[in-house]
Amino acid sequence: MALRDIIILPDKRLRSVSKPVVAIGDEIRTLVADMFETMYEAPGIGLAAIQVGVPSRVIVMDLSKREAEAEPRVFIDPEITWSSEEKSLYEEGCLSIPDVHEDVERPARVKIRYLDLEGKPHEEDAEGLFATCIQHEVDHVNGVLFIDHISKLKRERITKKFTKAAKKAEKAG
């Protein structure tokens, strides 16, 4: 296992659509292990492979409380197959957009289909924090960021801030 660098806005890779997983082998298992280590270290509750620069449709998640026993989950080639009309509002953040938190409205419940690390297919209903987090992470594999769900003004302000910081770091580096 190894920590991987999390790519940060305005990195253009965050806007790319990730490719389906062709085969679940050692490469994917190593990626998943590294993603968990990176997510726990950050700390975060979800991470998409594209956030560590790998354009594969792989998501890791752990919604357990920090002091509780870990409940790691892996979602390979996840897709949302149904969304409720009912909405819920959660304050979201993102490891690729550090220190930014905004209220985001999303469907309160969703149905998801995915493969586990053994390649076994699953279908599951999600609600509450699980529904919010899985939608956030599926957005990532589709090149969408949580700031795309907030007002244009707030999104532009956040994007400008990160673009300016990246240019400053580039000049200093």
Q: Which residues are catalytic?
A: 137
CA gap 154, 36 in Å, rounded: 30
Query: Within a 10 A sphere around the Cβ of 143, how many other Cβ atoms?
Result: 16
Q: Which residue reads 């594999």 in tokens?
A: 141
Q: Tell me which residue of 81, 135, 145 sits closest to 108, measured CA to CA.
A: 135
First and final C-alpha spacing in the chain: 28
Alpha-carbon distances, residue 66 vs 37, 40, 70, 71 (angstroms):
14, 9, 8, 10
Q: Over 54-77, what HEC string results? A: CCECEEEECCCCCCCCCCCEEEEE
Structure token pair of residue 158:
């956040």
